[in-house]
Amino acid sequence: MNKKKTQVIQALKFALFSVSAGAIQFGSFALFEIFIQDYWIPYLVSLILSTLWNFTLNRRYTFKSAANVPVAMAKVFLFYLVFTPVSTYLGDLAEAHGGNDFVILIVTMVANLTLEFIYCKLFVYRGQENTLDTKKG
């Protein structure tokens, strides 16, 4: 398979797994919103849940990487070390100015999907893609 086609398939897989993570994030956010009125607490907890799900699926099936899991997770953690406070602050600010929590969440999720794919491709799994022997696990 040529490189461009492989990259398109990879981007589609990442997007599909991110949609499943997005469903987890959206569902858990909606559940937490019932009990907690502040934007940032439901957002933060739902982001953590979806990130763990997304990392696990994308490492194995999208990037097929045998990269050291703690190292790869630490690299993803670095992404979220920047993304989380920025997105939480901007989301909280948007809510304070009358933005709808769910519209804010969707915009943030689209930004997350796009930025995280680029980050994973160029930093987390660079040089370590397709190194996982899927027959072994």
Section 130-134 average pLDDT: 80
pLDDT in tens, 60-88: 999 999 889 999 999 999 999 999 999 99
Number of H helices, E strands in the chain: 4, 0
Residue 1's contacts (CB-CB under 8 Å, 6 or more residues apart) are: 9
Q: List the domain boundaries for the chain.
A: 3-124
d(CA 29, CA 26): 5
User: Considering the entire predicted model, what is its pTM?
Assistant: 0.81
pLDDT for residue 135: 55
d(CA 78, CA 33): 27
pLDDT for residue 39: 85
Question: Residue 91: left (phi > 0), alpha (psi -120 to 50), or beta?
Answer: alpha
Section 26-49 average pLDDT: 91
> Within 10 Å of residue 27's Cβ, how many Cβ atoms?
13
pLDDT for residue 67: 86
pLDDT in tens, 86-128: 999 999 999 999 999 889 989 998 999 999 999 999 999 999 9
